[in-house]
Structure 1
Amino acid sequence: MKLATIRTAGATAAVRIDGDTAVETGHRDLGALLADPDWKRLAAAAAGTAHAVGSLDYAPVVPRPGKIICVGLNYRNHILEMGRELPQYPTLFAKYPEALIGPYDEIVLPAASEAVDWEAELAVVIGAPVRHAGKEAAAAAIAGYSVLNDVTARDWQYRSPMWLQGKTFEATTPFGPVLVTPDEADPAAGLALSGAVDGETVQRADTADLVFDAATLVSYISTILTLQPGDVIATGTPGGVGHARRPQRYLAEGRTLTTAVAGIGELRNVCRAEKVDEKVEEPTDG
């Protein structure tokens, strides 16, 4: 089953995608649908307003997750590219909902950064509360998978050993277009993941190359805190990032970033430079 959040007139709606048709489920977005323990049945039985898929305006697949937990250094080839050893435990950091944009929205390149990089990723979306889960229970708590690009301001990321400040600039992180349930997509079996800039492929990997797979990540993170329906885990990026190239390469205004995971979907986002209004001081009398 494929699910999404679409923008309608002044609102959003959760939909089930059936071929060329999207059917509303009656929920304001996919996060609200997943919050119902009976979401699978409700989604499968939905018979609301229908839309032509070709006319859809997609929002981030979960517009405001309670948590976005990202994983660094999780593809074997990327770890080697960065000159590191395979980790014993996942490297975790956070991102906030303000960073998310839809799968075809413009990426806003932060005015404060001169080194905005791409990071094609598989995203995991949680479908049930999960805490202290073994791997089997963790797998059962996964609602499905989506596509995300963890666009990163490298010059801000490396200002300190903590990566957060480079990872969550507003309107930088495309997410979607759909969630695909695990019966239709199995990253552990290997899904082709790719990233391209202006049509040139810059990242290519197989999700079977993940050091920590989706169920392992859910199990590990659930030891720290309760994962709730709609929470998102970005599982990490493979080799080919611009920062590791010689010479280094970064995104610029007008470039198109394309991110794809086979069997799930594709993001296409044009980059736009942020316009920051200069603060003008009011003249004083005299």
Structure 2
Amino acid sequence: MRTVRFEDETGYARRGEWTDDGIVANGNTYDPAEANVLAPSEPTKIICQAGGYMDHREESGFDDRPDRPELFLKTPNCVVAHGDAIELPPGRESVEFEAEFGIVISEQCRAVSEDEAMEYVEGFTCVNDISNRDDQEQERNWVRGKAFDASCPIGPVVATPDEVPDDATLTLRLNGETKQETTREHMIFSVPELVADVSELITLEPGDVIATGTPFGPDELAPGDTVEVEFDGVGTLENHVIAR
């Protein structure tokens, strides 16, 4: 099942199933092109993995395999939905896309084991970890670099784990041109490993998202760009880019 949150024609927020025939909710079918799609969950936090794929670690100057996931946070102000604008922060010259897929948590959990981790996973979604390199790299400031407004598009749906193949392909297209592509098989840490590691010290709440890291190829965005993140079983998250 692929679950979507959206506003109907009256502005009422609904939850439905995104099917080949449209969005089905409460016996009605809505046209996805006419619906105002919302972020698929309302996370209290987004826990992000840095360097989740070796090819990206290597292009960033790190050739070692980490002993455990390297983590940072994005906050709810970062979240934008499918179809919304990515706002480039003013005065920054290097703002980049990062295609990822996200693990969406189903219920509160803490200190879960790898064996039980999937019991707390509602499903998967697409994530674009927009990164302000000016502040991240020049000042080593990950708050200004990662947690600015509208820096984390998520969506368009949450796909249950059975919908997403073990070898699912993750792709990013910028203005129609493929810029990033990998498969889930190339992740350094598996989904259960990530959930277990994060939950060791951090209580996860329903709707929280663990962003699993990006592969080789992040590059700069400019006003007027259209960026798409596609993940097998989930679909395509599309956003346009504007200057703030």
Match of 1:15 in 2: 16
Higher deviation after alignment, 117-126 or 73-82: 73-82
Residues 108-123 of structure 1 mapped to structure 2, 5 A cutoff: 108-123=87-102
Instruction: Give the aligned length.
Output: 242
Q: What does 1:116-265 correspond to in 2, within 5 Å?
A: 116-186=95-165, 189-242=166-219, 250-265=220-235
Equivalent position SS for 2:56: helix
What is the TM-score of this pair, normalised by structure 2?
0.93
Correspondence for 2:2: 2
Answer 1 or 2: higher relative contact order, Cα 8 Å, separation at least 6: 2
Residue 273 of structure 1 corresponds to which residue in structure 2? 243
Measure how far apart 1:210 and its partner are. 0.7
Shift of 1:19: 2.6
The superposition leaves residues 52-99 of structure 1 with CA deviations (integer Å, 9 ceiling, x where unpaired) of: 33422211111x311211110011211122121111111111101111
Secondary structure, aligned partner of 1:53: coil
Alignment match, 1:83: 61
**Of the candidates 58, 74, 79, which is equivalent to residue 52 of structure 2?**
74
The whole-number CA distance in structure 1 between the counterparts of 2:184 and 2:55 is: 12
Cα pair distance change 1:159/1:11, threshold 3 Å: farther
> In 1, distance between residues paired with 2:139 and 2:70?
15
Contact 1:20–1:54, Cα closer than 8 Å, also in 2: no
Deviation at 1:2, TM superposition (A): 0.8
Structure number with the higher helix fraction is: 1
Give the ranges of 4+ consecutive aligned residues of structure 1 lying more than 4 Å apart after TM superposition.
none
Q: Is the 8 A contact 1:20 1:53 kept in 2?
A: no
Q: Is the 8 A contact 1:104 1:174 kept in 2?
A: no
Output the TM-score relative to the length of structure 1. Answer: 0.80
Query: Which 10-residue stretch deviates more, 213-222 or 157-166?
Result: 157-166
Shift of 1:23: 2.9
User: Which sections of structure 1, spanning at least 5 residues, go unmatched?
Assistant: 25-46, 243-249, 275-286
- Percent identity, please: 34
1:109 & 1:162 partners in 2: Cα distance?
Answer: 17
What letter matches 1:177 in structure 2?
Answer: P
The one-letter code of the counterpart of 2:14 is: A
- Equivalents in 2 of 1:169, 1:7: separation in Å? 25
RMSD: 1.5
